[in-house]
Structure 1
């Protein structure tokens, strides 16, 4: 469980190491009330995840857990792997990234370009994850989870602190959910000042299913946003924060996500990945209907996509 205090500490810890990403106001009259886009896709490495990675590594250094010669280890061929490799490079420690043997060569090259040691293990993510955990146990490397560690979640939550500073008033924040780290961090940051609505693909409803079951449960994962919203289970931290903060979950279809992503490009010239477009899809499709005058922020959390697909 994390609170606003944890997010405040994260903000102080990573100050000067991350970008303050801009807020873009949507065209007036499009929705019942004011709408803004929090352009977090402009963060280092193209997603919000650099915030949590930096906070995690710095926090372990403060506690004396980080071995400078061994560094950190992560299992991810996607955004989390890239963010942690970047953060490690910025802080001058080594990073080892375990990826499945099926990871696209372009992603492997991108990871290697940060200076990370990339190790391919197994044909599924689960095998790479187990290999990374063993590596941490054997070497003493700090393990950086993609979304379910307090420092990772608190770092992600600094997005919420920023948007509160950038806007005079916010009623609702729409956030896409996979493992839930970003949602939980923002919910903790804005708790008592704004509410958070989680937006999930119908084909990967981790939080939606957990709220219905009363606890995190495994879900089948597929769909167009599975590369970034493909967690099979909501994080324990995310679930606890969602319940405490009264986070609502709404579902969107693949078609909704595609249409929202196209609208962001066509109307605003914003290039985002499908997972990021999911948050806007809730508004664009009518899955979430704001009240008259409701002040809404849509967090656009990632841009690691192929522009040719727009």
Structure 2
């Protein structure tokens, strides 16, 4: 598959401008995140504290960053004359389907979304609200993807993908320049990874500006991390509280290529850290995200969150993307059930 670059992200920015909500950012209280040890002989922290910002992308249309990629994907195909009268079909764990259905509605085309049986009820209700034709499939994301492919062959509908598409990834990457414009001197951006669409796009833009990208995955849903270890995309087992959105069994080639660049870092976090980060967002900021939306924050060493994947250096400026909030706030008191989805 063709890799994306900053030019693809700029083209996507032109298509999505005025059609998606610009991301808002807010700074965490100074001292909320511990910096990496260093400097003193005993290894204690020295220098200035780090500066950590939250990018509130869960406030995007449809409740996740996926809206950016969906708009870019459909509008690029319309520009090329390859958006058929039969509309678009996609398989999804929920968020990509929501974004596709919403974007299709804005263009006046039909959307047929195939979901695994494990998809959360809140996402199913959202899809129906956007007027999508929802097809539930027994099994996992892979079974829904097969059903979507058969539907596309039978009807001529354009087949979308939750993450493994250059237009989808480039659309997601438009987020980075919006963040950078609000945080001068940004050093690092931290994103959650399922199949790698958000990571691929953000990393393409970040590389251009000399910004580090930290890719964060649950320990038991580590498609990108496993691909890096193997040197190629491989199938992995999935068993995480965040699996409905970060449950890809295989990372994209685009994501693997981006992760191999020196400016990228792959880290893993335990489910308990994800749950604690989500709870901390509510307790400290009254922010409600889905578990996948809190996964990036779970990598940072905050009090009470068990974050251990990435410790910023003193003085480092970090942006953490809170990528989605399609959840039931009532489940803040306990973990969400495991499932297998791909965004």
TM-score with structure 2 setting the length: 0.87
When residues 89 and 234 of structure 1 are mapped into structure 2, their CA distance, relative to the original with a 3 A threshold, is same
Superposition RMSD on alpha carbons, in Å? Answer: 1.4
Partner-residue secondary structure (3-state), 1:244: coil
Unaligned residue ranges in structure 1 (runs of 5+) = none
CA contact (8 A) 1:164 1:190 kept: no
1:92 equivalent in structure 2: 108
Matched, 1:185 2:201: yes
Partner of 2:13: 11
Is the counterpart of residue 80 in structure 1 residue 82 in structure 2?
A: no
Question: Are the equivalent residues in 1 in contact too, given 2:55–2:319 (CA < 8 A)?
Answer: yes
Q: Distance in 2 between matches of 1:215 and 1:85?
A: 32
Which residue of structure 1 lines up, in the alignment, with residue 146 of structure 2?
Answer: 130
Match of 1:45 in 2: 62
Structure 2 partner of 1:167: 183
Superposed CA deviations along residues 159-190 of structure 1, whole A, max 9, x for unmatched, are 11111112111101111111111011100011
- Alignment correspondent of 1:250: 267
Distance 1:274 1:100, change over 3 A: closer
- The equivalent of 1:294 in structure 2 is 316
Give me the whole-angstrom Cα distance separating, in 1, the residues matched to 2:293 and 2:186. 20
Q: Paired residue for 1:29? A: 31
Deviation of residue 22 (structure 1)? 0.4
Q: Distance in 1 between matches of 2:275 and 2:265?
A: 22
Cα pair 2:192 2:292 within 8 Å, conserved:
yes
Q: Tell whether the 8 Å contact from 2:119 to 2:244 is kept in structure 1 after alignment.
A: no
Whole-angstrom distance in 1 between the partners of 2:245 and 2:216? 13
Give the match for residue 107 of structure 1.
123
User: What residue in structure 2 maps to residue 120 of structure 1?
Assistant: 136
Q: Match of 1:179, SS?
A: coil
Per-residue CA deviations over 1:264-296 (Å, capped at 9, x if unaligned) read 111111111111111001103132111110111
**Equivalent position to 1:304, from 326, 334, 343:** 326
Cα 1:252–1:165 change in 2 (3 A) is same
1:106, 1:288 → 2: CA distance?
A: 32
CA contact (8 A) 2:268 2:299 kept: yes
Quote the offset at 1:124 in angstroms. Answer: 3.0
- Structure 2 match to 1:280: 297
The residue matched to 1:93 in structure 2 has which SS? coil
> What's the counterpart of residue 161 of structure 2?
145
